[in-house]
Structures are given as C-alpha cells and as structure tokens.
Amino acid sequence: MDMKRDVIIACDFASAEATYAFLDKFEGEPRKPFCKIGMELYYAAGPEIVREIKRRGHKIFLDLKLHDIPNTVKKTMAVLSQLDVDMTNLHAAGGRAMMEAALEGLTRPDGTRPALIAVTQLTSTSEEVMQKELLIDRPLPEVVMSYAANAKAAGLDGVVCSPLEAAKVHETCGDDFMTVTPGIRFAGGDAGDQKRITTPAKAAEIGSNFIVVGRPITADPDPVAAYRRAVAEFCEE
C-alpha cells in the first residue's frame, strides 16, 4: 500500500444515510478523503456501505478490530477480503498464531490482499488502567513495542498506536512498518475519551504514516474546513 502520509476520517456514524450526507459535503474537493469504517457503521449498515463508499472513489480502512481464535479470524478475514478495502485490522493481543491465520485468510487466491495492521493498546487506555485493570504490569511503551514486534514477526504491515509512540515503533520495526495513529486533536480541542493524544502537525513530526481523525472533523460545524486543516498540518508541513 502507498505509505504517503494521509488523513483518514473516522466515519463513526450510526447509519448509511448519515454517512452519505457527511461525504456529500466533500463533493468537488480536490482530495478524496480516505475513510475509516468502524464497528458502529459496519454493524448498522453492513457490507453494502463498504461497496458504496468504494464506488464513490474513497480509499477504505475497515476497522473491525478482530480478536478471536485463529480459525475464526482466518475465516472472517477470508470473507472480508472479498470487500475491496485498502486496509483492515485486528487486536495484537490475540497473539501471533491469530495474526498469522488472519494474514492467510485475508490473502486472495491471486496473492493480493488489503494491508493488515494490528491494534497495540487502544489510545483510550492509560498505563494506570492497563496495569490495574488488565494486570499488565509493564510500562505501556514497552507493551506497545512488544505487540508491534509480534505483529511484524507475524508478517503484518503495521500497527495502530498512539501518535506519541510512532517514532519508537519505526525504530523497533523499521520505516516500512506502517503507523496508523488515532488520538488526534487540534491544538486547544476537546480530548473526549482519548488519553494518548497529539495534534496533526506533531504526529507528522513524530513520523506517523496515517492519522485517524474522528470527532475533530465529524463534529465540527464545518467538517470540510476541519479536514483541510488536518491535511494542511499533517501532509503539507
């Protein structure tokens, strides 16, 4: 997949209608937004939403974060590979065998496949919660790097991580290993439930390949202007 820096809009809407109404605002924009379809929208609207957004010419990151036994994940990925998405993902916490099975399932008979990336630790998880609730008593950056190394060893293309961790992931796993980073807020913006966050400009500086931006664009009264601002800060330096 082309690793040129890009902004991915998290289309976290509850229906196809709301999503199309949102995307219609970008008609005529010189740059077609790369769209992330997450659980909310996929469970509400099904695979047809993926096909339609693809027909409209957008690149798609299908963010379903699979986490199950290897056989189930493999068979599910085989189904998802029939949707023409550009990127999809799973939880690295499912382990190496699950990630390898996923890759096998995702690969089409002709050898092609969407990019596959792994969620390390959610950007809404703080080190305190990880240690006290999940009983993972190592420092959070160490856990993220270890999950990233597992994903790389399993043959995956990259990870979802906090923008604050992107440089270290590249250092550990190489420059070709993709970092896709949610937890993005404009300077002075509302963090919401996100914990490990930064601005688009800072994410570019740290070395993210893709930023995932949801509410700072979707909840803005002028989402097109907010998207342009993210692109200007992240892609154009």
Contact range with ligand C5P by CB under 6 A, out of 16-24, 74-82, 136-144, 211-219: 211-219
Write out the two tokens for 125: 């998880």
What binding mask, one character per residue, do residues 21-60 give for ligand C5P by CB under 6 A, x or -? -----------------x----------------------
Catalytic status, residue 65: yes
Per CB under 6 A, the list member of 7, 9, 12, 98 interacting with ligand C5P is: 12
Stretch 181-200 residues interacting with ligand C5P (CB under 6 A): 182-184, 192, 194
Of the candidate spans 80-88, 98-106, 107-115, 180-188, the one that interacts with ligand C5P by CB under 6 A turns out to be 180-188
Closest-by-Cβ residue to ligand C5P is: 214
Spell 110-142 as b/e; 16+ CB within 10 A means b.
eeebbbbbbbbbbbebebeebeeeeebeeebbe
Residue for token digits 């382990």? Answer: 95
Residue 152 or 215 with smaller CB distance to ligand C5P: 215
83 or 144: whose CB is closer to ligand C5P? 144
Query: Phi/psi of residue 221, each to 5°?
Result: -60, -25
Catalytic residue among 54, 65, 195, 202: 65
Q: How many helices (H) and strands (E) does the chain have?
A: 11, 8
The DSSP secondary-structure symbol of 28 reads T
CA dihedral 204, 36, 191, 165 (to 10 degrees): -40
CA distance linking residue 24 with residue 174, whole number of Å: 38
Token digits for 15? 């229906």
Take residue 57 and report the two structure tokens written for it.
């010419």
Exactly one of 7, 9, 10, 169 binds ligand C5P (CB under 6 A); which one? 10
- Tell how strand 87-91 and strand 115-119 pair up: parallel
Provide the greatest CA pair distance for the chain: 50
Residue 215 touching ligand C5P (CB under 6 A): yes
Query: Nearer to ligand C5P by C-beta: 86 or 104?
Result: 86
- Binder to ligand C5P among 103, 122, 206, 230 (CB under 6 A)? 122
Question: Which of 119, 148, 156, 211 is close enough to bind ligand C5P by CB under 6 A?
Answer: 119
Q: How many residues make up the chain in this entry? A: 237
Q: Using CB under 6 A, which residues numbered 72 to 111 contact ligand C5P?
A: none
The site for ligand C5P (CB under 6 A) is made up of 10, 12, 38, 119, 122-123, 160, 182-184, 192, 194, 212-216
